[in-house]
Amino acid sequence: MATRNKVLTTGFFRDRALDFRTRVVLGAAVHGASEPGAVLATVGRVEAQHAWYREWCATADATERAAVAAREAGHLVSARGGFLRAATYWACALGGVDAFREKHTEAILLPTFRRHRACWDAFIDCSGGAHERVNVRYEDTTLPGYLLRPDDSGRPRPTLVVTNGSDGALSDLWSGAGVAAALERDWNAFVYDGPGQQSMLFERGIGFRPDWEAVLTPVLDALLSRTDVDADRLAGYGLSQAGFWLPRALAFEHRLRAAVIDPGVVDVSTPWMAQLGARLTAQLDGGDREAFERGLRLATRIPALGRTLKFRARPYRHDSWFDLFTTVRTYRLLAADGARVRTPLLITDPEGEEFWPGQSRRLAGLVREAELAGFTAAEGADRHCEPLGRLVVEQRVFDWLDDRLAR
């Protein structure tokens, strides 16, 4: 038994980021967004961090070319599945660009993202009209959104509105945030890029904002103008960093009947602050900008830390380390915000949560009505966002949602 479980306990890679990405893409297979054999073959060729990008590009390119050939031959079911997997694999490649020096990263990031988004759009177009693009009016621009439906009948259905995390791709949400599971249960699902996410960042240079009610409200306005969305059966799903954004939005936006928070996030800055020692933390607390900048410049000479921080910093749109960390520390859910949340919440609480341990319980203590859903290593549904336990998560999530919406 110990030998059989060794890969799950020790990991696919020593590098924590590569190990987590492998778990995510392998878990996507439960709804056809990846192929286990292709995943294992690809990661088996990755011998160093830089090889991750190269090998996933090769797998993505081959999968995309096969999907194009299937589409040209009129095999739309095969094409649809191929484009979905190719979108997943291009997203995997995109997750590896932070292994390169900044100049090289800038050269490859946007072309790689565009290959990913082209495959996602091709997947949408091969749906026979079931899935639609829905642009959402947002300030002086629009948010790119997609309404995924079980079919093109146009009848009103309950709709799951999914808010992504800090750097995930839309294709990740197919298996990782209940989209495919919603369609299986005769629901719609809506996914979108908010400010700082994917196309909004890479194509338009628009960064994050903490007040997500300014994002969720126009999204719901757009959906509620449609006849194929049941206004009385709207639910939300907040994945990863959206475990902060969605509760924050629900303090002010009350039209969702229920919401799933996976996992709860009260203070986004926790993993950021964990990178700092006592001296840097004291300098930040004391407002000593010059000393803090000097200390971070020295710390980020460590290649892995420097690459990670620079990639994670991109959506916050700050050139100064001091301003960046100061801004990230404002991404907190205050007690007054939690008290305003009227929407019933189901908050996942996975064993071994890497980024925000203990914060699911903290969030549950801040809001009026919340239920904690614990997931364990014994059932293979542990770790951040339960990457290898999606069917276990979906069963509990949608049973809970069905009960709440039925009320």
Q: What is the pLDDT of residue 107?
A: 86
Rounded Cα gap, residues 364 and 344, in angstroms = 10
Q: Mind listing the pLDDT tens digit for each residue in 283-333?
A: 999 999 999 999 998 888 877 777 778 888 889 988 899 999 999 999 999
Q: What is the pLDDT of residue 8?
A: 67
**Domain residue limits, the chain:** 13-125, 131-268+331-406, 270-328
As a whole number, the mean pLDDT across the chain is 94
Nearest Cα to 362, choosing from 352, 354, 372? 372
Nearest Cα to 200, choosing from 317, 352, 279, 306? 317
Contact predicate 163/237, CB 8 Å: yes
Least confident of 37-51, 72-86, 386-400: 37-51
Fold of 131-268+331-406: Rossmann fold (3.40.50)
Whether the per-residue pLDDT at 20 is higher than 70: the answer is: yes
Q: What is the pLDDT of residue 306?
A: 75
Q: What is the pLDDT of residue 14?
A: 86
Q: What is the CA radius of gyration of the chain?
A: 21
Q: What is the pLDDT of residue 24?
A: 96
Q: Mind listing the pLDDT tens digit for each residue in 245-290?
A: 999 999 999 999 999 999 999 999 999 999 898 999 999 999 999 9
Q: Mind listing the pLDDT tens digit for each residue in 175-196?
A: 999 999 999 999 999 999 999 9
Q: Average pLDDT in the 62-67 region?
A: 98
Q: Average pLDDT in the 207-214 region?
A: 97
Q: What is the pLDDT of residue 315?
A: 95
Residue 101 pLDDT level (bands cut at 50, 70, 90):
low
Residue 200 pLDDT level (bands cut at 50, 70, 90):
very high
Q: What is the pLDDT of residue 51?
A: 93
Q: Which tokens in the block code for residue 349?
A: 């609480």
* pTM reported for the whole predicted model: 0.95
Q: What is the pLDDT of residue 271?
A: 93
Report the alpha-carbon angle 309-347-386, nearest 5: 60
Q: What is the pLDDT of residue 2?
A: 42
* 3-class SS shares of the chain: helix, strand, coil, % to 5: 50, 15, 35
Angstrom distances, CA of residue 347 to CA of 291, 336, 344, 363: 39, 19, 10, 8
